[in-house]
């Protein structure tokens, strides 16, 4: 399954660079074309000659090499591949990826690419655990960068801990997993809502909420990674569009509903948006003025319920409709009531009380409620919740198709 695939392998400067030689050899044995960028620091650990001999191709290193630019621009170099693999990914290169630097060929290729990226971090344990590296990794993962490792163990510097680069065999497994053996949702269509909705009061003011969109965006990415053709309908967020997902940007609940209806038919819909329950009944076309008098009376109207509408969409109803329940008290009891009132198949309940750090934060604590009971998930990152949910959706759709004979 790796035969015919093209990988751009970026080797940066760490002692683990030697493991890349083994990785290249194993990829070549499987018929994968491997083109390599060796950074200046990477060249201190492995020689261009070894990399070139094993990859059976020339090795790229300089951003402004006239012949390379004439034969193959750095942009094309990064786009000709099916996947970019960064191994070892040093703390420095990860920081440059996170900030979008383009000061050498490796970082430029990573910035210019429109292809997925897999990184194998390798560094000293203190560097790995530093808040700066953690923040850089969180940002990269949120943008859709895939990771393998690091592992725990003895390091070249003599310390012990997390930071050893994954072995060549593990990186190979991650590459194989990416290329399609693992696409249980391929051929399926998915719809995800995410973010807040923004309800205009007048041309400059609005009603909104603190939703970051992180959970919904991560779910869209996880579904797409498992092969689903995924549409993400999102209110305004600060997040990047997840790679491989069709994103429809909306503002109000009414726009969100229309965009969701336009995305049907789908087999699964996940409503993770924090939809404003109300909108301003009559928006002012002009900015409301103080005029020295009493504050304006703003009359609210009830917004459409997108989750309930999708659950009641007749012959267009997705086979599986999943909602969230953001609660601050009696989490499971309220969520069970919501499962009924909305008519959906599963509810993922989460406690968003102040102090949990969940609303707008990086982690989530989920109770999955369906017709048969409650499943308590341990606290995990929103990405992990998304991956677990996507796998559960794949399993459920398979069993629904199996039982309906489809």
Task: Give which of 266, 285, 197 is closest to 234, Cα–Cα.
Answer: 197
Question: What is the sign of the dihedral through the CA atoms of 101, 106, 111 and 116?
Answer: negative
Stretch that binds ligand CTP, among 103-111, 151-159, 300-308, 359-367 (CB under 6 A): 300-308
For ligand CTP, the binding residues in 174-193 under the rule CB under 6 A are: 193
Q: How many CB atoms lie within 10 A of CB 105?
A: 23
Residues 6+ apart with CB under 8 A from 177: none
Nearest to ligand CTP of 133, 303 (CB atom): 303
> Residue 144 CB, nearest distance to ligand CTP (Å)?
23
Q: Give the one residue of 142, 267, 305, 345 binding ligand CTP; rule: CB under 6 A.
A: 305
CA 105 to chain centre: 25
For 155-210, strand residue ranges (E) read: 160-164, 189-194, 199-200, 206-207
Task: Give which of 107, 114, 110 is closest to 82, Cα–Cα.
Answer: 114
**Positions marked catalytic:** 157
Q: How many CB atoms lie within 10 A of CB 290?
A: 8
- Give me 3's structure tokens: 């035969």
> Cis link prior to 327 (omega < 30° from 0)?
no
Nearest to ligand CTP of 307, 390 (CB atom): 307
Nearest to ligand CTP of 168, 369 (CB atom): 369
Stretch that binds ligand CTP, among 92-100, 318-326, 375-383, 389-397 (CB under 6 A): 318-326
CA 369 to chain centre: 24
Nearest to ligand CTP of 214, 338 (CB atom): 338
The 239-258 contact track toward ligand CTP, x by CB under 6 A, reads --------------x-----
345 lines the binding site for ligand CTP (CB under 6 A): no
Stretch that binds ligand CTP, among 52-60, 85-93, 225-233, 272-280 (CB under 6 A): 272-280
323 lines the binding site for ligand CTP (CB under 6 A): yes
What residue ranges bind ligand CTP (CB under 6 A)? 193, 253, 271-273, 275, 277, 303, 305-307, 323-326, 338, 342
């Amino acid at each position: 399954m790796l035969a015919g695939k093209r990988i751009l392998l970026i080797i940066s400067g760490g002692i683990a660079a030697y493991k890349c030689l083994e990785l290249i050899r194993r990829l070549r044995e499987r018929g994968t074309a491997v083109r390599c960028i060796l950074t200046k620091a990477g060249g201190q650990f492995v020689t261009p000659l070894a990399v070139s001999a094993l990859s059976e191709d020339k090795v790229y290193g300089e951003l402004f090499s006239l012949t390379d630019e004439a034969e193959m621009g750095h942009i094309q170099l990064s786009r000709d591949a099916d996947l970019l693999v960064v191994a070892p990914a040093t703390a420095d290169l990860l920081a440059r990826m996170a900030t979008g630097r383009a000061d050498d060929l490796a970082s430029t290729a990573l910035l210019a690419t429109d292809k997925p990226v897999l990184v194998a971090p390798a560094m000293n344990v203190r560097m790995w655990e530093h808040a700066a590296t953690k923040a850089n990794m969180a940002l990269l993962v949120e943008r859709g960068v895939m990771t393998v490792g690091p592992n725990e163990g003895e390091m070249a510097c003599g310390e012990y801990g997390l930071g050893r680069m994954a072995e060549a065999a593990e990186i190979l497994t991650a590459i194989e997993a990416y290329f399609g053996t693992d696409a249980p949702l391929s051929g399926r269509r998915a719809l995800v809502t995410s973010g807040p909705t923004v309800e205009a009061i007048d041309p400059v003011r609005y009603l909104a909420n603190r939703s970051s969109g992180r959970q919904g965006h991560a779910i869209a990415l996880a579904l797409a990674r498992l092969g689903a053709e995924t549409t993400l309908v999102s209110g305004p967020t600060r997040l990047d569009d997840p790679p491989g997902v069709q994103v429809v940007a909306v503002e109000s609940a009414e726009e969100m509903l229309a965009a969701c209806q336009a995305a049907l038919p789908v087999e699964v819909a996940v409503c993770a948006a924090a939809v404003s329950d109300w909108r301003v009944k009559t928006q002012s076309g002009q900015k409301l003025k103080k005029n020295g008098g009493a504050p304006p009376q703003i009359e609210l109207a009830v917004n459409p319920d997108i989750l309930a509408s999708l659950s009641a969409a007749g012959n267009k109803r997705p086979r599986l409709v999943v909602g969230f329940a953001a609660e601050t008290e009696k989490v499971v009891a309220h969520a069970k009531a919501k499962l009924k009132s909305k008519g959906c198949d599963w509810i993922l309940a989460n406690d968003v009380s102040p102090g949990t750090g969940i609303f707008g934060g990086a982690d989530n604590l989920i109770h999955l409620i369906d017709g048969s009971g409650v499943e308590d998930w341990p606290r995990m990152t929103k990405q992990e919740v998304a991956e677990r949910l996507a796998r559960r959706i794949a399993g459920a759709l398979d069993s629904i198709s199996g039982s309906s004979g489809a």
